Structure 1
Amino acid sequence: MEPGSSTLLTLLITLSWFHLAESLGTGLGLSPHMGWSSWNVKQCDSASAKYALDAADKFISLGLKDLGYEYINIDDCWSTKERDGSGKLVPDPVKWPNGIKAVADRIHDMGLKFGLYGCAGQMTCAEFPGSEGYAVSDVDQLVGWGVDFWKFDNCYTPCKVNPRPQTCPDPAGNTKTWYAPMRDAILAARARTASQIHFNLCNWGRDEVYKWGAQYGAQSWRISEDNYGDWASIERIASTAADITQYSGPGGFNDLDMLYLGSPKLNTRQERLHFGLWAILKSPLVLGLDLSNISASTLEIVTNRGIIEINQDPLGKPANTFRPPGGPEPVKGKIYPYWVGELKDGVVIGLCAGTAAGRYSLEFRDVPGLGRGWYEWTEMYTAQTGWGSGVSLDIGLHDMRVVKVGSFIFSTSNIPSRLSGPAGKRDY
């Protein structure tokens, strides 16, 4: 290490602990990242140049780039099964006939960014070479290729102290220890080069990663086991996220895992809730489907400009659950109906019909951040607008409505009851 670099490294780690990405001089992670990932398409078979470039083309033709989607991320299985004689990772020559850099350069020329996948253990989850013992050289390769995003997984990490088997199952344990070498390599590369690699920790939420992920130079960290594209996964992940929102914000965000829209296990209502809840919780919005076969209904959901703007709001504050008068008791593992989050220019309310269809009603005076009075509001999925002292909407089972409450019109503290605007809510 060069003289003085250890001091700089310490400073970088300290600053990242406080989510001060601006002070790091990177500008990374100021809002949740948006993009596409290859794994849910065809798993190992989609870890190729063809899939990366096809996705990039779709970002342009479908208008996704214009909405803020920018990362084209290739997941596991992109390399050969062995490193070369000098210990370098080798891109699979069949999947990457012109190498990684040529693809990254083309994607950059389109105004997009390119990401790859690695693992803290001896092998990746699909048993390709991991980065244990190779963190510095692997990061040097990433910088040379122009990689912008590095998803770092948690398979085949140490199971026991030496001697230990060459391969071992995924343990629970001190992931901080075996993620430290990659942390040091990433931060050192940022300090000595123009590299701005987004570091994504994928340790499945173990060891309370949300408490130390920023200290490790990460801009996002997974908070749970994988999203399997079914309703049970949506409930499980959302329930987990609801308890740890205080650890997410500009500089480092809780990652609720890829959006599994397009899954045959989810209907359109469930897709709306999936996307809307991930958005107001300020999770990264990473599409995990074949964009060449995206349905019209799914495309309409993922291109909802209003919901994307809420996700990308500069305050970066995740929504939290709140219990209005008469609201139900929270049930562990289930999605709570009422959510609220602060925005730069208002408040977002999430109404989730996680357990029952029906009419969901709120008085704004019962919503944290609002008060007794009339407000203008817009529901983002239906484009319904209204004004008054509250909102009342019919919502189907497992569906969601995302309501942005904007301008305060006037206080109702000293006026008699009357009907409000198009919502038909009575002012009390």
Structure 2
Amino acid sequence: MGRFPALGWNSWNAGGCSAASASMAIKTANAFISLGLKDAGYQYINIDDCWSTMSRNSSGYLVADPNKFPQGMKAVADQVHSLGLKFGLYGCAGTKTCAGYPGSQGYEDKDAKLLASWGVDYWKHDNCYTPCKQGSVQTCGNPSGSTQTWYAKMRDALANSGRPIFYSLCNWGRDNVWTWGNQTGQSWRMSVDNWNDWASVVRIASSAAPIAQYSGPYGYNDLDMMQIGNGKLTAAEERTHFGLWAMSKSPIILGTDLTKLSSDRLALVKNSAILAVNQDALSIAATTFRPSGAAAPVSGQIYPYWAGPLSDGSVVLGLVTANGATTLSVNFADVPGLGAGTFSWTELFSGKTGSGTSVSASLSSHDMAMYKVSKSKTHK
């Protein structure tokens, strides 16, 4: 469990509270099959906030909202499992979830055992209404204690639940979570939310590069859910969003109504070569590098040059135009893991191939090219 970054879907970006329903979960699970997403490697169907009633029952247990889940939660999990997929739910470390539903603070063991009884495979644990010097507030700017303390409580409860449950920490990058996340869960949010705009892509990706070394097998920096197909990012920005998340070994959690996804966007999120980079057995996140003569990185901006090693001995190389259309070129001698000589390459968005001692891409604004560069030198 959690050996590789999670691939799946989450209801929140698809419609907030209104998407937290059995019908949406089953519709999405069926779309995973019919659209080929399951065959591409996506497996988790995750329901986010607003799935429960507004209060626990008399025994202190969470209750699935009978209007949204008329057959109960186990029936939905069973249906998802019958399709060969996995089922996830959302909760919160505080007294309430971010939308005001019951949180798990003080109920960790009860909640974990309930999840296990339902057959839940994935648990996203949010950080609202947690101990705060300002009193009980949704988002605390002055916490009373460290998030590590309360996230460990749910870790232990899930471990004792009798069922393996993927633990997704959603503490918004607080308390340098990347330094302790792999002792606690399988992935951890390293930033505040992706707000479905280019500024969010820039903010998150630029923050991911300096902490790339903390990702690895069974524990990954989570750059937040995808905003592909939600109407705000351009096609170029969606490529960059998807490509940098994949190279960074982030979980790829889709967040849109998949039945309305355009063929171009569906092809993007099913791109087998890019998903293979994300799921590569080496599990080393790509980060930025500075070619000879290139300007230094600027904090808070996406640097144009990214690279990381792959398990077959090749290198994945990313070129990003963060500040307007331009042509980016890089000599392979400057790329970590390569060196002087002639190498073969494949551009993973287009499938174009070539060879040489360097590569060059003419890109529109906010666009990306991603190359898999073979370390086996070609011979002519």
TM-score (norm: length of structure 2):
0.97
Separation in 2, partners of 1:167, 1:362: 49
1:186 aligned counterpart, secondary structure: helix
Contact 2:109 2:154 in 1 (8 A): yes
Residue 371 of structure 1: CA displacement?
Answer: 1.3
Q: Does 1:35 align with 2:8?
A: yes
Distance 1:295 1:172, change over 3 A: farther
Contact 1:139 1:186 in 2 (8 A): yes
Distance 1:159 1:255, change over 3 A: same
Q: Does 1:399 align with 2:358?
A: no
Q: Which amino acid aligns with 1:64?
A: L
Residue 407 of structure 1: CA displacement?
Answer: 4.6
Q: Hey, what does 2:140 align to over in structure 1?
A: 170
CA RMSD after TM alignment: 1.4
Q: Which amino acid aligns with 1:178?
A: W
Residue 331 of structure 1: CA displacement?
Answer: 1.3
Q: Does 1:387 align with 2:355?
A: yes
Distance 1:407 1:168, change over 3 A: closer
Contact 2:98 2:138 in 1 (8 A): no
Residue 169 of structure 1: CA displacement?
Answer: 4.4
Separation in 2, partners of 1:169, 1:212: 22
1:295 is aligned, of 246, 249, 262, to: 262
Deviations 1:81-128 (A, max 9, x none): 000000000000000000000010010010000000000000000000
Distance 1:168 1:330, change over 3 A: closer
Distance 1:166 1:382, change over 3 A: closer
Q: Does 1:334 align with 2:301?
A: yes
Contact 2:55 2:62 in 1 (8 A): yes
Q: Does 1:311 align with 2:278?
A: yes
Residue 159 of structure 1: CA displacement?
Answer: 1.3
TM-score (norm: length of structure 1):
0.86
Distance 1:169 1:69, change over 3 A: closer
Contact 1:362 1:390 in 2 (8 A): yes
Q: Which amino acid aligns with 2:155?
A: R
Q: Hey, what does 1:185 align to over in structure 2?
A: 157
Bigger Rg over Cα: 1
Contact 2:315 2:375 in 1 (8 A): no
Q: Does 1:221 align with 2:188?
A: yes
Q: Does 1:56 align with 2:29?
A: yes
Moved more, 356-365 or 49-58: 356-365
Q: Hey, what does 1:21 align to over in structure 2?
A: none
2:175 is aligned, of 207, 217, 224, to: 207
Contact 1:373 1:408 in 2 (8 A): no
Distance 1:166 1:401, change over 3 A: closer
Distance 1:125 1:313, change over 3 A: same
Contact 1:157 1:171 in 2 (8 A): no
Distance 1:237 1:146, change over 3 A: same
1:71 is aligned, of 38, 41, 44, to: 44
Residue 180 of structure 1: CA displacement?
Answer: 2.6
1:244 aligned counterpart, secondary structure: helix
Alignment of 1:116-265 (within 5 A): 116-160=89-133, 165=135, 169-173=139-143, 174-189=146-161, 193=162, 195-216=163-184, 218-265=185-232
Q: Which amino acid aligns with 1:386?
A: G
1:372 is aligned, of 327, 340, 351, to: 340
Residue 168 of structure 1: CA displacement?
Answer: 5.8
Contact 1:210 1:223 in 2 (8 A): yes
Residue ranges of structure 2 left out of the alignment (5+ in a row): none
1:204 aligned counterpart, secondary structure: coil
Separation in 2, partners of 1:236, 1:172: 22
Separation in 2, partners of 1:392, 1:168: 47
Contact 1:71 1:114 in 2 (8 A): yes
Separation in 1, partners of 2:136, 2:227: 34
Size of the aligned set, in residue pairs, is 377
Deviations 1:246-289 (A, max 9, x none): 11111100000001011222010000000001000000000011
